[in-house]
Structure 1
């Protein structure tokens, strides 16, 4: 699966980024986009599959997480478009770039669901922390966006792990 992201278009997108800066931004925002989409999809799968004595609060909490993952994946994708980078949120791209093992398509105890979601959020926020440093020198707006996503995911990590 190709991990390239197009920074060119036959329809000119005016941007203040140099082509070199746009490439660095593309290389760091595209994986962020695919990870956020994957978090939303995984969260929804776990939302459907959770069972156990804490079913209802975990089920509802997962909906809140999914909503935020979807919101921020859209924000990241729209920023990419804004600076002339075509975002790729297709299922084939998300599946192809997937670095974490998928959750099983089976009912899961609420504690296992909390552990699975906690681990995934931690992995993604750690990855985004690394990316924010890489974009800092070329695009402070992209860095700021990633910092915002880090804040949201860190709060999710706290709120999710506290349910253990």
Structure 2
């Protein structure tokens, strides 16, 4: 998939524009894959943290959708053709395959955090490649995406960081139940 570039008066060489279009399309495939993985998690999560995770995964999906659009539009800005179909993403994405046989919140947290971390890693490598190529605007786009993905990763990982392995809020509920069991009945 390396069609001719459309003409542009942008002040980057054709070789740089071609290189950036290819790099952007590679990360676009990953972003489209990540987009569908977020919906997979959103639709199928179960357990005590259901609503929090259901909403979080949907919020991240919306953010990734913005990244998809920005990546695709930057490809076209370079004079390239954006390859953003699900079929292209399935063929070209380098993200780990999302497990389809999970339902618990903790399993989805693990899978989503793994996908976000992998995407963040390839985006950071893209930052370096765009900088080396001398395309500060594409580099900046990748920096913006990296920052947002790192924040999303933090929000997801926080669900697994209860300290003792219990879901967030579970220990507080247990302590409250214990206090009620040992309190003097109100008369």
Aligned with residue 138 of structure 2, among 130, 139, 142: 142
Question: 2: CA distance between counterparts of 1:152 and 1:6?
Answer: 31
Q: How does 1:78-117 map onto structure 2 within 5 Å?
A: 78-117=73-112
Question: 1: CA distance between counterparts of 2:69 and 2:45?
Answer: 26
Question: 2: CA distance between counterparts of 1:24 and 1:135?
Answer: 9
Unpaired runs of 5+ in structure 1? none
The root-mean-square deviation of aligned C-alpha atoms, in Å, is: 1.5
Question: 1: CA distance between counterparts of 2:102 and 2:111?
Answer: 13
Unpaired runs of 5+ in structure 2? 161-187
SS across alignment from 1:43:
helix
Question: 2: CA distance between counterparts of 1:133 and 1:107?
Answer: 35
TM-score by length of 2: 0.80
Q: How does 1:49-68 map onto structure 2 within 5 Å?
A: 49-68=44-63
Task: Indicate if the aligned counterparts of 2:26 and 2:93 stay in contact, CA closer than 8 A.
Answer: no
Aligned length: 159
Task: Indicate if the aligned counterparts of 1:16 and 1:83 stay in contact, CA closer than 8 A.
Answer: no
- Who is 1:155 aligned against? 151
Higher relative contact order (CA 8 A, sep 6+): 1
CA offset digits 1:47-87 (Å, max 9, x no partner): 11101111110000000000000011101111111121111
Bigger Rg over Cα: 2
TM-score by length of 1: 0.90
Shift of 1:98: 2.5
Question: 2: CA distance between counterparts of 1:98 and 1:35?
Answer: 5
Seen in structure 2, the aligned counterparts of structure 1 residues 58 and 5 have a Cα distance that, compared at 3 Å, is farther
Question: 2: CA distance between counterparts of 1:7 and 1:158?
Answer: 40
Aligned with residue 121 of structure 2, among 98, 121, 126: 126
